[in-house]
Chain A
Amino acid sequence: MDAFPTEIVRFELDGKTIEALPGESILQAAQRTGSEIPHLCYKAGYRPDGNCRACVVEIDGERVLAPSCCRNPKEGMQVNSQSERALHSQKMVVELLLSDMPEQGKSPYTQRSELDIWAEKLGVVQPRFAGRQQPVQDISHPAISVQLDACIQCTRCVRACREVQVNDVIGYANRGDHSTIVFDLNDPLGVSTCVACGECVQACPTGALMPSDNVGLEVSDKTVASSCPYCGVGCLLTYDVKDNRILRVEGREGPANKSRLCVKGRYGFDYVHHPDRLTQPQIRCEGVPKTVELLNPSDFDKVFRPASWEEALEVAASGLKRIRDEQGPQALAGFGCAKGSNEEAYLLQKLVRTGFGNNNIDHCTRLCHASSVVALLEGIGSGAVSNPFTDVEDAEVIMVVGSNTPVNHPVAATFFKNAAQAGKDLILIDPRRIDLARYASYSLQFNPDTDVALFNALMHTIVEEGLCNEEYLAKYTEGFDALKENLKDYSPEGMAKVCGIPAETLREVARRYATAKSSIIFWGMGVSQHIHGTDNARCLIALALMTGQIGRPGTGLHPLRGQNNVQGASDMGLIPMVFPDYKPVGDPTAKHFFEKLWGTTLDPNPGLTVVEITEEIHKRNIKGLYIMGENPAMSDPNLNHTREALARLEHFVIQDIFPTETAGFADVILPTSAFPEKTGTFTNTNRQVQLGRQALEPPGDSRQDWWIIQEMAKRLGLSWNYRGVPDVFEEIRKATPSMAGITWDRLEQDHSVTYPCENEGDPGDPVIFTDGFPTPSGRGKFVPAKFSQAAELPNEEFPYVFITGRQLEHWHTGSMTRRAGVLDAIEPLPIVSVNPSDLGQLGVDAGTTLTVQSRRGKLTAFARGDHGVPEGNVYMSFAYNEAAANLITTDRLDPFGKIPEFKFCAVKLSAGGDPAPRLV
C-alpha cells in the first residue's frame, strides 16, 4: 500500500504535469484538472471500490496496470492512461460488460447509461462475446423498478445503501459468475425493508435501478436547481421538467444533504400535478351552512362557486375589513405556514400587523417546537440551533432525544448513522425503540412523560461525580446554584423507578456525555409536545451548559426543525409575541424600528397563539380568519372542538393549493402555487438560507402567494408595491440584521448561505455561541425544572397512552403526500401501531381494525404490530382524515410555549370498527 499522501503531489499524466490534492486518487486528480479516464464503479463521494477495472492506467516502472480510482499518485510518478496497453484493457472491460447487456447494446432503461457513454468514447461497438442468461425484471416496488439484466455489478448501489444512506437492504450475494445484487434475503424489492430513498437509483450507472414510472428514456426540456418542499433538513435537488411536468428528481450537492434525498423528496413530487389542484378562486355559495362535518370533495361544487380573482379578492378583503372596522382589530387573526417561503411569511405577518392591526399571527411552529424556542430564548437568548447536524462528524457523543430521525429527518439520520459507523457513540432517548437503535451504543426506552426525571438524574450524576466544566460555568453561565439545589432530589437511584431506566445506565450515559471531547444533543417533538415541553427543553439546555458542551464544532443544541421553513417562518416573525428577528412586540425600540420601516403604528400587545385563537373563535371573540396553507382541521388538537370553532367563523379566507379539510369551512378560497411553481428562500434546520426556484407554471388561474397577499394588502388599504420576491427579500434584510449580509445575487450563485451573516461577504457562522450568548448578561441561564406529569394520565377506563407522530411517507396532515402517487401507494391506509403483546391481549390480528377512543373523540384504523412501541402505548400519525389522530388528542397547553400535548393522552382500545370513508 502507498502511504497516505498528506500534501500536494506533482505527477505526470499522459505527458502533462498535474497536481493531486491531499488524499486524491489519480482518477480524481485527472478529473479535477480536466482529463478523462474511463470509470464505472467509481462515484464521486463514495468509497472507491476498484472492482470494474475500467479505469486502469499504466504506471512507469510497474509490472501491472493500476486502477486509477483507488491509487494515490506519488511525487514524480509517470502515469499513462492512453497507452496501448491501458486502452486495450479499458476497452476490454467495456466490451465484456456490454456483451452482458440486454441485446448486447445500449441500455434500454436510461438515456444516460455511463457504460454506453464510455463505450462510445472508447469506440467499442459490437461485443465479440456471447451474453449470459439474464434475470427478469422486478417491478414489485411502487417507487423503484429493478432490471438486473443491465447490471454491471459495480456495487455502487450496495455502497449507496449500506455506506451512504445506511439502510442495509441491498447486498451482493452468491459468488463467481453467479454474483448478483439482492435485497434482504433475496426478496423482491417490494417486500423487502427498502425505504425507497432512491440513493441506489441515483448511483446506478446503467439504469438497472430506475424510478418505476419508466421515465428513463424521456428527455427533459429543462432542469431546475431547487430544494425539497418537505422537511427541515433542506435537501437541495434538481427537477427534470418536460412539458410543464416534473419527470424526475435528483439529489444535488447541498451543505445539508451531500446529494442525498429521502423517499418524499425524490418520489413525492407529483402532488403538484394532482387533479384536485385548485385552479380558480372559489366563493362559498349563498346560504350553505357551515357544520363540523368535513366537506366531501365530491360535494365541493355544491358548496363553492368559481369566481374571478377580482370578485374573490374583493369579497375576501371586504369581509375582513368589515369585521376589523365594526368589531375592532382584535376580532381578526391569521395563520401562516412553515411550508411557505421566508418572503411569504414576512408578507403575511406584515399583513396582519399592519393591515389587521394586531399581533394575532401564528403558525405551526406552535404545534412543534414552540416550547423549545421559549426555553432557548430564555436560557441562551436565541431560538436557532447552535450547530448544524452535519457537525456529528466532529462529535464524539451524539444524543438523540424524542426524535425518530430516520422518519422525520431522514437525510439527517443518514449522517447520524455514518457517524455511528465511524465509531461515535449514539445515545438514543425515546420511549419507542426506533430504527436508529441498531446503530446506537445506548438506547434508553424510558417511560413516556418522565423526561424531566430522566434529564435531572443525568445532571445529578454530573454534579455529584464532579463532571461539570467549572471553567465554563464560571465564564459563561449564571444561576447554577439554583439548578444544583433542585437536582438534589433527583438521584439516578431514585429516578430509576420513575423513568424505567436502571440507575447505573443513567450514570454511564451521564458520564459519557459529560466527559466526551465533544457531545451534541438533538431533539424532536418527543421533547417539545408535552405540557412540560418547555421544562424538558430547559433540562437539555442545562445539560449542555453545565458540561460546556456548546460553542465548539461537534457540540451544542439542535432542536431538529420539522417543516422545510419552520426556522425561517419563525425568523420572519410569524409568531404573535415577536416581530421579525425575535424582537418582542412590547419592546419600544423594536416597535419604533418597525413602525418606521413599515410606515404605520403597531399594536404593542402580544397576540394569541394557534390554540388560543381557536378558543377565541369558539367563544365568538374572533370572527374573521385568514389562513395561508395551514390545515388546522387536521393538525390541531381536539379536532371536534377545533372544527366546531372553524364552523363558527363569520368570515374565513384561505389560500391553498388543495381543497383541504380546512378549506371546506372557508368563505373564500384563493388558489395558489405549489412549491415548484414559485421562487423563494427557505431556511432549514441548520440556519442555511436556500433558494427554491420556480420549475413549473402554476396550473389554471392559480397565482403565486406573494402576489395574493399583496393584493389582499392593497384591498385592506395598504400601499404595497413589491415587484417580485427579490424586492421582499431586500426588505427582509433590513428587518433581520442576522440576514443582512445575504444578497439575492449570492443566493442565486451559492444556492445556500448560513446565517448569522451580518455583512455582505461574511461567510456565515455554522457554529454560534463560541464566546457567550446573546442574552442581556452575555451568559447562559440555568432554569431548574421539576418533574411533573401529563395532563391526562391513563386510568382504568382509559388504560392506554396515545402518542402521535409521523410516518416516513406522509407529511403532516397528508394533504400533499396522500396525493403523491408513490407515497400513497406505499402507505395507503390509516395505521395504528401497537405492541404485539397488547394486540394479543386485545384479540386483534395485525391488519384488522382497531378502535381508539379518548374523552374527546374516536377513530378506527388498521392495527400494525410494532415491537418498538412499548406495551401500554399506541402510536399513530395524524395524516389520515378517515381516522384523524387529532380527534383523540388533548388541547391542554404547555404554560410557556403554549404547545399542546400531542405526545400523551389516555385512550381505550377495542377490536374492530370501520374507518370513516377517506376524503382524498
Chain B
Amino acid sequence: MLALDTQKEIAQLLSRYPIKRNALLPILHVVQKGNEGYLTPELLEEVAGICEVSQTHVEGVISFYTMYKLEKPGKFHLQVCTCVPCCLVGGEELLEHVEQQLDTHAGHTADDGVFSVEEVECLGACSYAPAVIINEDYHEQMNPEKLDRLMDELRTQGQAHA
C-alpha cells in the first residue's frame, strides 16, 4: 500500500498531466522516495493501475532507467560506467574490483548495507574516464586504489553515522 503522503503527492502530479500514463516517471520517483529508495512488485502493480498502463509497460520503464531500484540501496550508491570510453581505460576492471571488494554483484547491495553498486551507461564524463558517481557526486579518472581509499573513508563515515 502506498503511504498517505505518497498518495497525496501522486494526486498532485496527476492533476498536472492530462494523460495519466505520462505521469509514470515522476510517480515512480515519488513512490520510490517514499519507500526507502526502492520499488517493490506490489508498488509497481499499484502504479500500473494508477497510470492505467500494463505491468509490463512499467517493467520496461523501470528496467530501462537505472535510477529505479528494486533492492534497498546502500547508504552510498556507486554507479560505475562501463561504456566504451570508460571501458577503454579500465571501467570494467574498476567494476570488477568493486564487486570483489564488496562481495556482491552489480545491481545489488552489499550485506552490510553501506554500499550498493551498479553498472551504468555513459555518465557524460568521458573526458575524465573512467567515471564513477557515488550518491550525487562525480569521481573522475578513477582507479582501484583511489576508489578503495574513497570507500574506506565513506565506510568509516557511514558506520560513524549509523
Contacts and interface: CB of A to CB of B under 8 A. Distances in A.
B1 to A, nearest CB: 14
A184 B59 contact: yes
B56 A182 contact: yes
B55 A176 contact: no
B45 A168 contact: no
Contacts of B59: 171, 173, 182, 184-186
Contact of A183 (B56, B58, B63, B64): B56
B52 A193 contact: no
Contact of A174 (B41, B44, B45, B63): B63
B135 interface: no
Interface in B56-76: 56-60, 63-64
A438 interface: yes
Nearest to B66: A175
Contacts of B58: 185
Contact of B64 (A162, A175, A184, A186): A175
B57 A185 contact: no
Nearest to B60: A171
A184 B45 CA distance: 9
Contacts of A184: 54-56, 59
Contact of A171 (B44, B52, B54): B54
A349 B41 CA distance: 57
A169 B60 contact: no
Contacts of B52: 438
Interface residues of A, number: 17
A438 B45 CA distance: 15
Interface in B31-89: 41, 44-45, 52, 54-60, 63-64
B64 A171 contact: no
Contacts of B148: none
A182 B70 CA distance: 16
A434 to B, nearest CB: 16
B64 to A, nearest CB: 5
B54 A169 contact: yes
A442 interface: no
B5 interface: no
A168 B63 contact: no
A184 B41 CA distance: 10
Given A176-B121, A185-B44, A170 B64 contact: no
Contacts of A182: 56, 59-60, 63
Most B CB contacts (10 A, CB to CB) among A171, A172, A176 go to: A171
Interface string A162-192: 1000001111111110000011111000000
Nearest to A169: B56
Contact of B63 (A169, A170, A173, A193): A173
A364 B15 CA distance: 51
Most A CB contacts (10 A, CB to CB) among B44, B56, B58, B60 go to: B56
A162 B60 CA distance: 13
Contacts of A175: 63-64, 121
Nearest to B63: A173
Contacts of A174: 63-64
Contacts of A438: 52
A45 B54 CA distance: 23
Classify chain B's interface size. Answer: 10 to 19
Contacts of A185: 41, 44-45, 55-56, 58-59
A260 B40 CA distance: 35
A193 B64 contact: no
Contacts of A162: 54, 56
Interface in A413-452: 438
B45 A171 contact: no
Contact of B54 (A168, A172, A186): A168
A199 to B, nearest CB: 15
Given A168-B56, A169-B56, A193-B55, A186 B121 contact: no
A799 B88 CA distance: 73
B60 A172 contact: yes
A179 to B, nearest CB: 9
Contacts of A186: 59, 63
A169 B59 CA distance: 10
A176 B64 CA distance: 9
Contacts of A169: 54, 56
B56 A170 contact: yes
A173 B60 contact: yes
B157 to A, nearest CB: 32
A777 to B, nearest CB: 48
A176 B81 CA distance: 14
A437 to B, nearest CB: 10
A2 to B, nearest CB: 29
A151 to B, nearest CB: 16
A182 B58 CA distance: 11
A278 B49 CA distance: 48
A70 B31 CA distance: 39
A171 B121 contact: no
Interface string A276-312: 0000000000000000000000000000000000000
A184 B55 CA distance: 5
B57 A171 contact: yes
Contacts of B121: 175-176
A184 B44 CA distance: 10
A172 B58 CA distance: 10
B120 to A, nearest CB: 11
B118 to A, nearest CB: 12
Interface string B110-136: 000000000001000000000000000
Nearest to A183: B56
Given A185-B41, A185-B45, A438-B52, A168 B57 contact: yes
B84 to A, nearest CB: 11
Interface string A472-507: 000000000000000000000000000000000000
A173 B64 contact: yes
Contacts of B54: 162, 168-169, 171, 184
Nearest to B57: A171
A824 B121 CA distance: 47
A169 B44 CA distance: 14
B80 to A, nearest CB: 15
Contacts of B55: 168, 184-185, 193
Interface string A136-180: 000000000000000000000000001000001111111110000
A170 B56 CA distance: 6
A186 B40 CA distance: 12
Interface string A33-54: 0000000000000000000000
Nearest to A438: B52
A162 B59 CA distance: 14
Contacts of B64: 173-175
A418 to B, nearest CB: 16
A171 B121 CA distance: 21
A438 B49 CA distance: 10
Nearest to A170: B56
Nearest to B56: A171
A784 B54 CA distance: 43
A631 B79 CA distance: 65
Interface in B5-35: none
A386 B162 CA distance: 74
B126 to A, nearest CB: 17
Nearest to B119: A178
Nearest to B107: A178
13 contacts: A162-B56, A169-B56, A171-B56, A171-B60, A172-B60, A173-B60, A182-B60, A182-B63, A184-B59, A185-B44, A185-B45, A185-B55, A193-B55
Given A174-B63, A184-B54, A185-B59, 11 more contacts: A168-B57, A171-B57, A171-B59, A172-B60, A174-B64, A182-B63, A184-B55, A184-B56, A185-B41, A185-B55, A185-B58
Interface of B: 41, 44-45, 52, 54-60, 63-64, 121
Interface of A: 162, 168-176, 182-186, 193, 438
Q: Which 9 pairs across A and B sit closest by C-beta, in order of nearness?
A: A171-B56, A168-B54, A173-B63, A184-B55, A174-B63, A171-B60, A185-B59, A185-B41, A185-B55
